[in-house]
A and B are shown apart, each in its own frame.
Chain A
Amino acid sequence: MTAETQIPSDRDRTARVLLRTPSGPFAPVTARRMRRALLTYAAVWVVAVAPSVLGAGPGLATGALGLALPGGGFAAAGHPWLAVATVVVFVVALVVWWFFGATIVPPIIWIGAAVLAGVGAEAVSDAGRAVALAAGPVLVALSAAVHVVRHRAQVRIGERLNRRLEQVDFVITGMPDMSAGLPVAESSAEDLARLRYGLDLALQPIDRFDGFTHLDQYREAALRYQLNALSYGLSMSRFTRTPAFSGYLAEAQRSSIEKMLQRKVWGYWAKENAWGNLRWDPEPVENSENIMLTGFMGLMLGMYETLNDDRYAQPAGLPFRWSPTRTYDHSYGSLAASIHRNMGGSDFTLFPCEPNWIYTVCNTFGLNTLVSHDRLHGTSYAADVLPGLRDGYEDEFMRPDGKIVGVRARHLGLSWNFWASPSVQMTTTYWMHAGLPELSQRTWWLLREKGLTLRDGLLELPKFATNGLDPGNYLMGRDTFGQVVTIMAAREVGDEEYARAAERTLDEREPIETSETGVRRLKDSSGLANHYANLGRFGRRSGLRDLVAHGVPDTWRTGPRLAEAAYPEVLVARAVTDGTALDLVLLPGAGPVRTTLGIDRLVPGRTYTATGTTTGGVTADAFGRALVEVDLGERLEVRLY
């Protein structure tokens, strides 16, 4: 429910964004899925009870009862401990399903236990039979009752919040004035030392992953998520600090993308598709799921193309090589088309990451891919799916009190309550801001209302256990990642007070590790957390929204730029062009040095005045290129005009 007011004197607008009143305890699509699942279970339950009613032998009767409840067969056969053990194993199987999309595991445990119970049964226990038949329906009824009670409480909270939201005007930033240029800040020495952490990881050979976290390729610590975050941080630094510098920064951007094409990064899908969908097809894009690859990588590509060139939009620009004889050729366009197709084909509009599991955060990356692709290539993908996506987020994946539900099972409609934790809200706030800014702003407002606390200039996160988790290494005990995503979200929506408080909290508390070459990182945090810390560090108000939805001024795409510089000798703190002149601020990265800089996109044959260089002036060659020499001993300003 959104009421908008245009502000004629400004490009921004204000919007009042109320929480929707739910039509019932379960949203429409979710309710349909749950009804279908319940009907299926009811049919299985009838099959389970039939042999007992028809007087079948103990083997068939207990085996069938095992279908009514995992371990129910053992309970009916008089083996309560085996029944309990089966339930425990079944819960573990559910977790495995959830983590890795292994849909086949829970049925194997459930049916396997039923068969085993039937094979060994000599008699049927009446008490055990009663438990086997009653436990499932009772559990379902209890869960529904608890949900309804909680839902009513959430509705009342939502009504109270709406009375306050009626008084709140959210400012939605519009298209910046590109003719005036976009803000370009100067990086500090500390900013550059942190950026070097990402640069060093990216600039190693494409098939090397030294320094990355190697735990698994399925969950949050997977290489692909590290590469995504690395790439986003590099792109954001380019956008807000050095748009007129390509050089090793653009190479690092490309490297992070091309590392994604390594089979060790994307090959997980073959297994997930096999054990989740019972299909052996490693094809990572032409499927109805896997937005955790297409969405996240698509955004990397959108950012890269906005700041560089369209090489990955060319046919076969993204070759996913499965084997020497099998390659899946894709491009930025085919990734975006896949997301568009899958969103259009899903009742929820949101569609799954792992087989069956729909994550709200993943789908924001899909939307960002579509928004950037539309801007760069003239498609209307985002416009096509946005109404459905908004309904999906507002109705199916949001509680009445405004908290976003993080995950839902596509076929069963189930969700996990603790996925509505603040970390989900903050992450979604950030990544939604480009495509669904109203929801993003409202989510941030709700977070400020009900969770985040400033004390003595420091930020305290809500007392959620999940806020103490670093998803990049699965270690708990520090809320660094929560602080990092707060910086990202607060800065993006323009709440600099909270962003600075979170930064101050980390600065005062977190030890920093410095390498022999001067690279710096958060010592006790994962690579993923460090990369997102860079994304937050280099962000600004609507930084993501501008980069994804609005792009860059034409002058940035055509004006002079620093195309080559030695690394790590030359660190670029600021690089910007107005289309004619080039302004640089450089810092030494390896001590004082006399070095050469390569400039391109100059006017061929034109002589430029150069300040801050040893030469004083330079004439561009026939290709618009020139070399200038600088003595770099401390902060140095260079200008070509």
Chain B
Amino acid sequence: MGCCLVAALVISVLRRVRYAVLPGQPPVTAAFAPSPRRPAPGTMLVGLAAAPPATAPPARLVSAPVAAGLAVLAYVTAVALLDAVGLLVTGDDPLVGWTARDLGAAALLVAALLAAAGTTPRARSRLDDVSVACIAAGVTWTALAIVDMHVLGLFELGTVGDVLLHGSGLALLMTGLALHAPPKESSR
């Protein structure tokens, strides 16, 4: 069962991320089965109770910090890939700026992870889960792109690339806002 040590870690992390970010029912844990009945020979079951309906598991919270942390990772990876394939035009003195930026991104990631660990689960609707994830990820992505390009001036992209990079974050943000369901008003 040694492989399961690693399996347990990886699978549990993946499960957390999957149900924090994407829609879907969280897994059902083991429990008692509905109590079955079998009649005595030559008799019919009387008053056989229907199996109780399966209790819907509580919706898993969306952890905004988890979504933000994933956005940091995705953004940094995307920029690194763009740089690797030669689509970035970097500044004249990149070392200090990039180092500061990398440290900042790492700090943001650590902060997101710490915040995720300290978040108290709160039941939400599935739609809310997705919207919160989109909003958190969109804000993070957009902020990182603005800081990189327009505060630190680390790199430039062509017009199309500029629009795509900023637009990706904004699109996520707008999607999240559009999905966000307002609280139901009282009928009173």
Q: Indicate whether B50 reaches chain A with its CB closer than 8 angstroms.
A: no
Q: Indicate whether A608 reaches chain B with its CB closer than 8 angstroms.
A: no
Complex: A476 Cα to B7 Cα, angstroms: 11
Q: Known: A79-B84, A116-B81, A627-B41. Contact between A474 and B11, CB under 8 A?
A: yes
Q: Is A471 a contact of B33 with CB atoms below 8 Å? A: no
Q: Is A215 a contact of B27 with CB atoms below 8 Å? A: yes
Q: Is B30 a contact of A213 with CB atoms below 8 Å? A: yes
Which residues of chain A come closer than 8 Å to B183, judged between CB atoms?
none
Q: Is A116 a contact of B85 with CB atoms below 8 Å? A: yes
Q: Indicate whether A495 reaches chain B with its CB closer than 8 angstroms.
A: no
Q: Indicate whether B160 reaches chain A with its CB closer than 8 angstroms.
A: no
Q: Is A219 a contact of B41 with CB atoms below 8 Å? A: no
Q: Is B5 a contact of A569 with CB atoms below 8 Å? A: no
Q: Give the interface residue-count category, chain B.
A: 35 or more
Which chain A residues (190-228) contact chain B, with CB distance < 8 Å?
197, 199-201, 203-204, 210-216, 219-220
Which residues of chain A come closer than 8 Å to B29, judged between CB atoms?
213, 473
Complex: A272 Cα to B32 Cα, angstroms: 31
Q: Indicate whether A95 reaches chain B with its CB closer than 8 angstroms.
A: yes
- When C-beta atoms are compared, the residue in chain A nearest to B28 turns out to be A214
- Contacting residue for B85 out of A81, A120, A519, A530, CB 8 A: A120
Q: Indicate whether A85 reaches chain B with its CB closer than 8 angstroms.
A: yes
Q: Indicate whether A566 reaches chain B with its CB closer than 8 angstroms.
A: yes
Q: Mark B1-29, 1 if CB is under 8 A from A, else 0.
A: 11111111011100100000000000111
Q: Known: A74-B84, A215-B11, A565-B40. Contact between A465 and B32, CB under 8 A?
A: no
Q: Is B34 a contact of A200 with CB atoms below 8 Å? A: yes
Complex: A451 Cα to B29 Cα, angstroms: 32
Complex: A214 Cα to B30 Cα, angstroms: 8
Which residues of chain A come closer than 8 Å to B81, judged between CB atoms?
82, 116
Q: Indicate whether B96 reaches chain A with its CB closer than 8 angstroms.
A: no
Which chain A residues (562-576) contact chain B, with CB distance < 8 Å?
563-570
- When C-beta atoms are compared, the residue in chain A nearest to B80 turns out to be A82
Q: Indicate whether A376 reaches chain B with its CB closer than 8 angstroms.
A: no
Q: Indicate whether A501 reaches chain B with its CB closer than 8 angstroms.
A: no
Q: Is A476 a contact of B11 with CB atoms below 8 Å? A: no
Q: Is A465 a contact of B5 with CB atoms below 8 Å? A: yes
In the complex, how many angstroms separate the beta carbon of B24 from the nearest chain A beta carbon? 12
Which residues of chain B come closer than 8 Å to A275, judged between CB atoms?
none
- Contacting residue for A406 out of B2, B15, B34, B42, CB 8 A: B2
Complex: A200 Cα to B32 Cα, angstroms: 8
Q: Is A515 a contact of B7 with CB atoms below 8 Å? A: no
- When C-beta atoms are compared, the residue in chain B nearest to A464 turns out to be B2
Q: Indicate whether B125 reaches chain A with its CB closer than 8 angstroms.
A: no
- When C-beta atoms are compared, the residue in chain A nearest to B40 turns out to be A566
Q: Is B1 a contact of A77 with CB atoms below 8 Å? A: no
Q: Mark A436-474, 1 if CB is under 8 A from B, else 0.
A: 000000000000000000000000000011100101111
In the complex, how many angstroms separate the beta carbon of B161 from the nearest chain A beta carbon? 14
Q: Mark A550-572, 1 if CB is under 8 A from B, else 0.
A: 00000000000001111111100
Which residues of chain A come closer than 8 Å to B10, judged between CB atoms?
92, 95, 99
Which residues of chain B come closer than 8 Å to A328, judged between CB atoms?
none
Q: Is A210 a contact of B37 with CB atoms below 8 Å? A: no
Q: Is A79 a contact of B83 with CB atoms below 8 Å? A: yes
Q: Indicate whether A526 reaches chain B with its CB closer than 8 angstroms.
A: yes
Q: Is A466 a contact of B2 with CB atoms below 8 Å? A: yes
Q: Indicate whether B77 reaches chain A with its CB closer than 8 angstroms.
A: yes
Q: Indicate whether A595 reaches chain B with its CB closer than 8 angstroms.
A: yes
Q: Is A596 a contact of B35 with CB atoms below 8 Å? A: no
Q: Indicate whether B187 reaches chain A with its CB closer than 8 angstroms.
A: no
- When C-beta atoms are compared, the residue in chain B nearest to A468 turns out to be B5
Q: Is B32 a contact of A419 with CB atoms below 8 Å? A: no
- Contacting residue for A213 out of B2, B28, B54, CB 8 A: B28
Q: Is A204 a contact of B86 with CB atoms below 8 Å? A: no
In the complex, how many angstroms separate the beta carbon of B18 from the nearest chain A beta carbon? 11
Q: Indicate whether B122 reaches chain A with its CB closer than 8 angstroms.
A: no
- Contacting residue for A117 out of B15, B37, B84, CB 8 A: B84
- When C-beta atoms are compared, the residue in chain A nearest to B10 turns out to be A95
Q: Known: A204-B33, A473-B30. Contact between A466 and B5, CB under 8 A?
A: yes
Q: Indicate whether B188 reaches chain A with its CB closer than 8 angstroms.
A: no
Q: Is A211 a contact of B86 with CB atoms below 8 Å? A: no
Q: Known: A85-B77, A210-B33. Contact between A567 and B5, CB under 8 A?
A: no
Q: Is A517 a contact of B2 with CB atoms below 8 Å? A: no
Q: Mark A86-121, 1 if CB is under 8 A from B, else 0.
A: 000000100100110000000000000000110110
Q: Indicate whether B151 reaches chain A with its CB closer than 8 angstroms.
A: no
Q: Indicate whether A144 reaches chain B with its CB closer than 8 angstroms.
A: no
Complex: A214 Cα to B15 Cα, angstroms: 12
Q: Indicate whether A486 reaches chain B with its CB closer than 8 angstroms.
A: no
- When C-beta atoms are compared, the residue in chain A nearest to B53 turns out to be A210
Complex: A566 Cα to B42 Cα, angstroms: 10
Which residues of chain A come closer than 8 Å to B84, judged between CB atoms?
74, 77, 79, 82, 116-117, 120
Which residues of chain A come closer than 8 Å to B1, judged between CB atoms?
220, 421, 423-424, 427, 466, 469, 471, 481
Which chain B residues (78-137) contact chain A, with CB distance < 8 Å?
80-81, 83-86
Q: Known: A216-B11, A476-B8. Contact between A204 and B3, CB under 8 A?
A: no
Which residues of chain B come closer than 8 Å to A203, judged between CB atoms?
33, 36, 38
Which residues of chain B come closer than 8 Å to A515, judged between CB atoms?
32, 35
Q: Indicate whether B56 reaches chain A with its CB closer than 8 angstroms.
A: no
Q: Indicate whether A285 reaches chain B with its CB closer than 8 angstroms.
A: no
Q: Is A469 a contact of B40 with CB atoms below 8 Å? A: no
Which residues of chain A come closer than 8 Å to B12, judged between CB atoms?
474-475
Q: Known: A82-B84, A219-B11, A566-B38. Contact between A527 and B30, CB under 8 A?
A: yes
Which chain B residues (130-154) contact chain A, with CB distance < 8 Å?
none
Complex: A117 Cα to B6 Cα, angstroms: 30
Q: Indicate whether B43 reaches chain A with its CB closer than 8 angstroms.
A: yes
Q: Indicate whether A322 reaches chain B with its CB closer than 8 angstroms.
A: no
Q: Mark A290-321, 1 if CB is under 8 A from B, else 0.
A: 00000000000000000000000000000000
Q: Indicate whether A420 reaches chain B with its CB closer than 8 angstroms.
A: yes
Q: Mark A521-552, 1 if CB is under 8 A from B, else 0.
A: 10000110010000000000000000000000
Besides A200-B34, A220-B7, A247-B38, 6 new A-B residue pairs in contact (Cβ under 8 A), listed by A number: A79-B83, A204-B33, A215-B15, A416-B2, A473-B30, A568-B37
A-B pairs with beta carbons under 8 Å apart, 27 shown: A117-B84, A120-B83, A200-B35, A203-B38, A204-B33, A210-B31, A214-B27, A215-B11, A220-B1, A248-B38, A424-B1, A427-B1, A466-B2, A474-B7, A516-B35, A517-B35, A564-B40, A565-B38, A566-B38, A567-B36, A567-B38, A568-B35, A596-B43, A597-B40, A598-B42, A627-B41, A627-B42
Interfacial residues, chain B to chain A (CB-CB below 8 A): 1-8, 10-12, 15, 27-43, 51, 54, 77, 80-81, 83-86
The 10 closest A-B pairs by CB, nearest first: A120-B85, A211-B33, A598-B41, A527-B30, A418-B2, A203-B36, A566-B40, A474-B8, A567-B38, A423-B1
Interfacial residues, chain A to chain B (CB-CB below 8 A): 74, 77, 79, 81-82, 85, 92, 95, 98-99, 116-117, 119-120, 122, 197, 199-201, 203-204, 210-216, 219-220, 247-248, 251, 406-407, 416, 418-421, 423-424, 427, 464-466, 469, 471-476, 481, 513, 515-517, 519, 521, 526-527, 530, 563-570, 595-598, 627
